[in-house]
Chain A
Amino acid sequence: MADSVKKLTKEDIKHIAQLANLDIDNDELEAYSKQLTDSLHYVENLEDIDTSGVPDTFFTTHAKNSMQEDVIDESVTLPQEEVLQNAPKKRNGYFVVKRIL
């Protein structure tokens, strides 16, 4: 069974880290490669369980849909300066981001 699991190489880790916008040091790649591969081996036990009869949708509560009127609740709206209070860079009431184009 375990043989069917892909080993996550250092290259794979680099790729995943890039997808997740994480900066991983080169000397950590080896450890991550081993740890994440170990995790994938562990979760192989799920293959023991026949899930063919299980529906595709699942949620933790028994609730079906949660609907409410689309109205503004003034008691929870925040003034602009409070929304921006934690931003490291702001200008004229806006968040400042790096140029992306």
Chain B
Amino acid sequence: MMQTVPIALENCAKTFADGTRALEAVNLEIAAGETVVLLGPSGCGKTTTLRLIAGLEQPDAGGRVRFGADDVTALPIEKRNVGMVFQSYALFPNMTVAENIAYGLRLRRQSAAEQRARVGEMLALMRIERLAERSIDQLSGGQRQRVALARALAVQPRVLLLDEPLTALDAKLRDTLRFEIDSLLRELGITAIYVTHDQAEAMALGDRIVVMDHGRIAQVGAPREIYQQPASRYVAEFIGTMNRLSGHADGEVFRCAGGYVAWPALPAGAQEILFRPEDTRIAADGEAATLHGTVGAAFFCGNHVRLFVEVGEAQPLVLETPARREYRHGEPVALAIETHGLMVL
């Protein structure tokens, strides 16, 4: 059974030797058994946060890393008992698959029989028994990924750390493995921290998502919460697509270049309203539409059409509509927006 623990970062800032400030003082608590995804564009500090937890970086003075009741701040990675999966897998080319998986056990001085049993267990868990005696350079990307996971889990780590583990794979395989990792994490109940820049991956895997921006935590929350109630424009625009209208509030009506949007809850003085593409639709025939525009572009996507509608804003509004009819460039359209999807940030 995994000896899974809660993780806490207290006041963890990171300044590199060259003076680069990678992380502002961050506080984060992760419950035992929880899967937390660190999400953000490159350079946002997500990998640095992961490496602080791993013990590959030391926080600036004052920062603390706790695994359960233990303060592990001063411990190097090799003493923290973590399992880590690297973006480039970091499998040892001088060892076979089985030897890679057994390496951590060997360092823990387990008997040969124990090692063999545990390696067998891991190979079975990842369904790669047939690869046991292969050398690393005979493996495909997906296979390497499984070996890396098996190796990290073999030592029964206190926490599993995954640094963009799927980035090097092609889209289809990424989907399959995402599903597998999800099932695996749930089955094992291990505390897992997963770094990615891919929001779809984050939504699928995370119990909670930590959105990061320029070395700060922008928002922490369940995927649904992050999507539906983004704490800032940064989060709103990083997660999914966001439509935006600029104009001014006039009582319960927001006036803009393409017409107006009625919203009883409209805050006074709002200069901008935001809403998702799925809350935007083409007005039904005979519906009293208040917002008008012209089709800027229409991308046929098979089951739907992705429409870009010019309404006199810097950015066209985006919406998806059933592919029942064709839309031509320049064609006038009337839009309706679901009131419950409107927000101001």
Answer yes or no: are A and B bound together in one complex.
Answer: no
Residues of B within 8 A of A (CB): none
